[in-house]
Amino acid sequence: MEPFKKVKSIITPLDQVNVDTDQIVPKQFLKLVHKSGFGKFLFYNWRYDENEKIKPDFVLNDSKYNNSKILVTGDNFGCGSSREHAIWALLDYGFSVIIAPSFADIFFSNCFKNGFLPISLDQKIVEKLQQEVDIIEVDLETQIIKTSSEEISFKIDPYKKKILLEGLDDIAQTLQFENKISEFERKSKVPSVL
Amino acid sequence: MGKTLFEKIWESHIVVEKQNGPSLIYIDRHLVHEVTSPQAFDGLRMNKRKVRRPDLTIATMDHNVPTNDRSLPILDQTSAVQIQTLEKNCKDFGIKLFDINSPNQGIVHVIGPQLGITLPGTTIVCGDSHTSTHGAFGALALGIGTSEVEHVLTSQTLWLEKPKSFEIKVEGKRKNPHAVTAKDIVLSIIKNIGTGGGTGTVIEYRGQGITDLSMEQRMTICNMSVEAGSRAGLIEPDEKAFDYLRGRQYTPKNYESLVDNWKEHLKTDSDAKFEKQFTLNISDIAPQVSWGTNPGMTCDVTESIPSPDEFSKGDPNQKKSAEKALEYMDLEPGTPITDIKIDRVFIGSCTNARLEDLIEASKVIKKQKISTNVKAMVVPGSQMVKKEAEELGLDKIFINANFEWREAGCSMCLGMNPDILSPGERCASTSNRNFEGRQGTGGRTHLVSPVMAAAAAIKGHFVDVRELDLS
């Protein structure tokens, strides 16, 4: 995984609550067996109509957001299905930070496995950020978001921060505890399936 | 202070505990399916890693398998590739697979308990959010993403933040338990606490309203915990749970001594404290019908579609989301639920496609035919459910009523196979999610119980099943 670097970009406002993973990547695109190339399916049914024509009203179809790396959205983002394809699509499309008042649990933990930073902030601050038209800076190291007018600090679990900043392989970390896992298995009374 | 059942399972599975941050938790059972696993196996190959415990891992194919004639080839090439990929991965890594032709094939959350693989007090994971279903047996069962699938395959563990404990007490006795079902109880809960009401928690369902339920009904409740945002939902296991698992194909040989141990330990202590609580009295609840695009947008069958103002109770974001939902669903506020006409009926999914669901639905149908304006299908949750239902002659009841009787799979719950709604079609569905496009792009889903779905199929619109004779 690539180490997470400072992000400078304009924000894309997606002013909706309860955005579910079926909207982020519709199910017809879950049949692929690789992780790459999901960006073109991001919010597919909101970006395109039934004839696959672009819906001009949808925010991602506004060219001024083409190079945005920061999505700012509503409460309970990523609810529903556990599909990690949702993160692969957001990343492949070009986003690397997502800011919302809250995230669904599985989506939230999926983010950190892919070098993607979810930041949860107070509802009022998120609403204000959605109005921001200038470039903002997200610095994970200092846990500060700089806008044209203010600095906003955010919280993150120290272990998750380390994983992102150093681009650590989660599994390699875990395998350092091989002794502990083996010891647990020796004591465990849970029978095998087969 | 005493401990909750969840805390006891959690503590007995800690491999590594840190002062602050996540704990490394041991996983007793890993269920694998074709959609969320290919990239995980790729990761293993890339890093030259093995599956640590193939003996604790089982796989089946459910999400995109066709539900028509199994002797025909799979026409959708991308689905076929995904299915072949699972076959190859299971072969290469030594994992037991119930493939498309196996009598044990079915929706992973239906076959786990049916095969005796799901056990009380265990930790169970699967790359699917509805893994919460297994909590009905007093297991801590979590849905995970593909990276975590890879992590569990390699290490049989997961790093997890300890969720908060959430007690949902279900009190009272239903007057008509054939008409007001477990689905109506769980939809009522979600309607009350909201789709984010359980975020960051593990729910423990308690009270007479829960202990009265059969195991299959309890699975319906736990299944939809994730629709309230919870990571998992569980129920203290009792004799009903132990009986359900006894004598199944993969029930452990030392089962009775396990049961003795579970009886002693798998309990929430009387002085345990939950971090969050909610109580629902079910004495007077009505059958539920969802009207919007998330499971919290639900009302009684006797009610009318609410206006966005009524629904949102002053929250501008909820109001906006209700307006969008009504537009997508093509519904007007004030329309009685029973005036809503439907085009399709789907009885299936990990929520409501077990034998009892099919028996109850068949009682509504009796010798009637479905409305001529409706297309309806039954997709049993597993090939075992299908066989048992056929032994009871349920297939004939459904087929005579003009339902299609299919092979097992997830089918139209998420429409990854050819079973999908056409744009604009309205469906009474026993599944778990009414998200935009979930059952097919432009399709409109109303979540209901199996008996409500069957009644709607007959009448061509929603009806209050309490008014029907269900003897």
Residue A1 has pLDDT above 90, yes or no: no
Which helix H or strand E contains A97, and what residues bound it? strand A97-100
From chain A residues 129-168, the ones with a CB under 8 A of any chain B CB are 157-160
Question: Rounded to an integer, what distance in angstroms lies between the CA atom of residue A91 and that of residue A40?
Answer: 11
Residues in chain B within 8 Å Cβ distance of A37 = none
Do A17 and B127 lie within an 8 Å CB cutoff?
no
Contacts of B317 (CB under 8 A, 6+ apart): A17, A74, A75
Q: Which two tokens stand for residue B128?
A: 């699917």
Q: Which two tokens stand for residue A165?
A: 């900043």
Name which of A105, A159, A190 is nearest B22 (Cβ-Cβ): A159
In chain B, the domains with their CATH numbers are: 5-278 (3.30.499.10), 288-467 (3.30.499.10)
Sheet holding A136-139, edge to edge: A7-9, A136-139, A144-146, A151-153
Which helix H or strand E contains A12, and what residues bound it? strand A11-14
Sheet holding B57-60, edge to edge: B96-98, B57-60, B29-32, B123-126, B140-143
pLDDT of res. A15 = 95
Name which of B29, B155, B321 is nearest A193 (Cβ-Cβ): B29
Which amino acid does the sequence have at B56?
Answer: L
Q: Kindly report, residue by residue over A119-161, the tens digit of the pLDDT.
A: 999 999 999 999 999 999 999 999 999 999 999 999 999 989 9
What pTM did the predictor assign?
0.97
Residue A93 DSSP code: H
Domain ranges for chain A: 6-184
pLDDT of res. A190 = 80
pLDDT band at A193 (very low <50, low <70, confident <90, very high): confident
**A112 class by beta-carbon count within 10 Å (0-12 exposed, 13-18 middle, 19+ buried):** buried
Do B39 and A84 lie within an 8 Å CB cutoff?
yes
Contacts of A166 (CB under 8 A, 6+ apart): A3
Pairing of strands B426-429, B344-347: parallel
Do B24 and A174 lie within an 8 Å CB cutoff?
yes
Q: Kindly report, residue by residue over B369-383, the tens digit of the pLDDT.
A: 999 999 999 999 999
Residues in chain A within 8 Å Cβ distance of B154 = 171, 174-175
User: Cα-atom radius of gyration of chain A, to the nearest Å?
Assistant: 19
Q: Kindly report the number of other CB atoms within 10 A of residue B177's CB atom.
A: 16
pLDDT of res. A38 = 97
Tell me the three state secondary structure of residue A50: coil
pLDDT of res. B471 = 66
Residues in chain B within 8 Å Cβ distance of A109 = 144-145, 148
Inform me whether the C-beta atom of residue A127 falls under 8 Å from chain B C-beta atoms.
no
Question: Rounded to an integer, what distance in angstroms lies between the CA atom of residue A115 and that of residue A87?
Answer: 10
* Cross-strand pairs, A51: none
Three-state SS annotation for chain B: CCCCHHHHHHHCCEEECCCCCCEEEECCEEEECCCCCHHHHHHHHHCCCCCCCHHHEEEECCCCCCCCCCCCCCCCHHHHHHHHHHHHHHHHHCCEEECCCCCCCECHHHHHHHCCCCCCCCEEEECCHHHHHHHHHCCEEEECCHHHHHHHHHHCEEEECCCEEEEEEEECCCCCCCCCCHHHHHHHHHHHHCCCCCCCEEEEEECHHHHCCCHHHHHHHHHHHHHHCCCEEECCCCHHHHHHHCCCCCCCCCHHHHHHHHHHHCCCCCCCCCCEEEEEECCCCCCEEECCCCCCCEEECCCECCCHHHHHCCCHHHHHHHHHHHHHHCCCCCCEHHHCECCEEEECCCCCCCHHHHHHHHHHHCCCCCCCCCEEEECCCEHHHHHHHHHCCHHHHHHHCCEEECCCCCHHHCCCCCCCCCCCCEEEECCCCCCCCCCCCCCEEEECCHHHHHHHHHHCECCCHHHCCCC
The CATH label, of 3.40.50.10440, 3.20.19.10, 3.30.200.20, 1.10.3720.10, for the domain at A6-184 is 3.20.19.10
Q: State CA B444 to chain mean position distance.
A: 19
Let me know: does B439 contact B420? Beta carbons within 8 Å.
yes
Let me know: does A30 contact A84? Beta carbons within 8 Å.
no
Do A110 and B145 lie within an 8 Å CB cutoff?
yes
Inform me whether the C-beta atom of residue A32 falls under 8 Å from chain B C-beta atoms.
yes
Q: State the angle between helix axes of B355-365 and B215-223 in degrees (0 to 180), rounded to the nearest 10.
A: 100
Do A17 and B318 lie within an 8 Å CB cutoff?
yes
Query: What angle is formed at CA B131 by the lines to CA B54 and CA B93, rounded to 5 degrees?
Result: 20
Pairing of strands B288-290, B298-300: antiparallel
Residue A172 has pLDDT above 80, yes or no: yes
Nearest CA in chain B to A23: B436
Give mean pLDDT, residues A29-50. Answer: 95
Q: Is the ipTM of this complex over 0.90?
A: yes
CA distance A43 to chain B (A): 11
Q: To the nearest 10°, report the CA torsion of B119, B124, B126, B131.
A: 70
Do A87 and B148 lie within an 8 Å CB cutoff?
no
Spell out, as residue ranges, where chain B has pLDDT lower than 50.
none
Q: What are the angstrom distances between the C-alpha of B388 and each of A58, B62, B186, B359?
A: 49, 19, 26, 10
Residue A194 has pLDDT above 80, yes or no: no
pLDDT of res. B248 = 98
**A151 class by beta-carbon count within 10 Å (0-12 exposed, 13-18 middle, 19+ buried):** exposed
Give mean pLDDT, residues A30-52. Answer: 94
Question: Rounded to an integer, what distance in angstroms lies between the CA atom of residue B277 and that of residue B297?
Answer: 21
Do B150 and A171 lie within an 8 Å CB cutoff?
yes
Query: What angle is formed at CA A194 by the lines to CA B109 and CA B262, rounded to 5 degrees?
Result: 65
pLDDT of res. A191 = 82
Closest to B177 in 3D by CA, of B282, B33, B32, B51: B282
Let me know: does A42 contact A89? Beta carbons within 8 Å.
yes
Widest CA span of chain A, in angstroms? 62
Contacts of B57 (CB under 8 A, 6+ apart): A193, B29, B30, B31, B32, B51, B95, B96, B153
